[in-house]
Structure 1
Amino acid sequence: MIKIFIVDDEAPARVRLSTLLSDIAAECPHELVGQADGAEQALQLIPESGAQLVLLDVQMPGMTGLELAAHLQKCDHPPAVVFVTAFDEYALQAFEVHALDYLVKPVRAQRLAQALKRAAAMLATPAFAARQQEKLQQTSQQLRQARQHFSVQERGRVLLVPVEEVLFLRAEQKYVCLRTKSREYLIEESLVSIEEEMKERFVRVHRNALVARNAIAGVEKGVAEAGEGAGQEAWLVLVRDTAFKLPISRRQWPIIKSLVK
């Protein structure tokens, strides 16, 4: 009996899927363990639900189903994903190999049953978990240019931090610290990959730090308080909405200087 979770921002679509699942329950035994109307709610509820399969809408406000699928891979037990979309088959070919299956709206009972039977067969194979993880990682790499959130593992949960809220990122040993106006988060990504992915939003100020371009409030001469060069006089970048002043390396100084003219 597969544990299923539905994610769709439209209530009628969730109702229709629930009804169809009830209609095919005898043919495809399952348990509907939850529903969500968006990505943030889904990431809070899915790990607790024990869902093995997520019926996931592609087009949702705030975050697409494609990006959510990439974030779901960070759950301790990532569920399989079946996309639900209004696109036709030709538009779906680009990502078909990265999902267990896909359903085209309006979803038909026979097509849903086919997807569930396929899911049941694949979930029963020992190698499925590793294969699904690899597929979702490939999806994540393809979606990096469209990513609007960082996903953070914290106390057994996956939290979403909007990219637009991040003021700066600083490398700290094996982690990267994300700083927003209200607090900080730790992620296991590299500054190099983030800089390459989001170079239009973040600029490097030092070997161990990136700052959001729109978070640069100015520069001043002072003494670096932390990191490499602590205690030495240097140019510091002032970060808006915080008291942080990050040292600017000599190599990056001309770039930062040009941004504050």
Structure 2
Amino acid sequence: MFKIAIVEDEHDAAMALSEFLARYGKENGCEIQATEFSSALQFETSKQSFDLVFMDIQMPGINGMEAAQLMRTYDGETPIIFVTNLAKYAVRGYEVDALDFIVKPVTYGNFRMRMDKAMRHIRRNAGRSIVLNTRSGIRVLSLEEIEYVEVRQHDLYYHLVGKEQPLEIYGSLSAFEQEVAGGPFVRISNSCLINMNHVRQVRGCDCVTSNGDTLPISRSKKRETVDTITAFLSGSI
């Protein structure tokens, strides 16, 4: 079951999204549980977890952008799709790492394309984890909490979301790459694999991560890296 939140103060608009979700679930053979919130405050105080959030931007009180900013202080992963009357309001979505946006009035064709992209994103990250033998014992890491992994001599350094110090483990970068094959990682150099969900910018020969780290892309891998990241973020892979 996929749990999806609809944060929308307009009753008709919320009903339309709920009906579209039910139709999409029936067409694609997946069970979807939609929960409606009539205000951003109601959503923020619910303390529920969701696989996807549809967020109206223009709402009284706390607007959708403010709610998304607050959400990102404790949840950096759940995809957000903004719903708005004017596309210009959605361009700020990059500030909160929004997955996409839909302009009202929402048509089912437009909605279906956004849902296809969202479902690819959700399924890529759902349930995948790795088991590491650390000095303090076994530790299980979900792939979504790994920003990037780099090798120094014979040690791997796992840079994790919200952690200042990386997790240091003896190991091989090639072995890690094989273990996460089919996941959201791309090799940007001989010494580094980056989680594409945490790429915020490709600037020249550098990748900038969600925690602000700037990682060099090797010259021989730049074209392949940029093409792979572009296809991933556009939902093509």
Compute the TM-score of the two structures, normalised by the length of structure 1. Answer: 0.45
Q: Radius of gyration: which is bigger?
A: 1
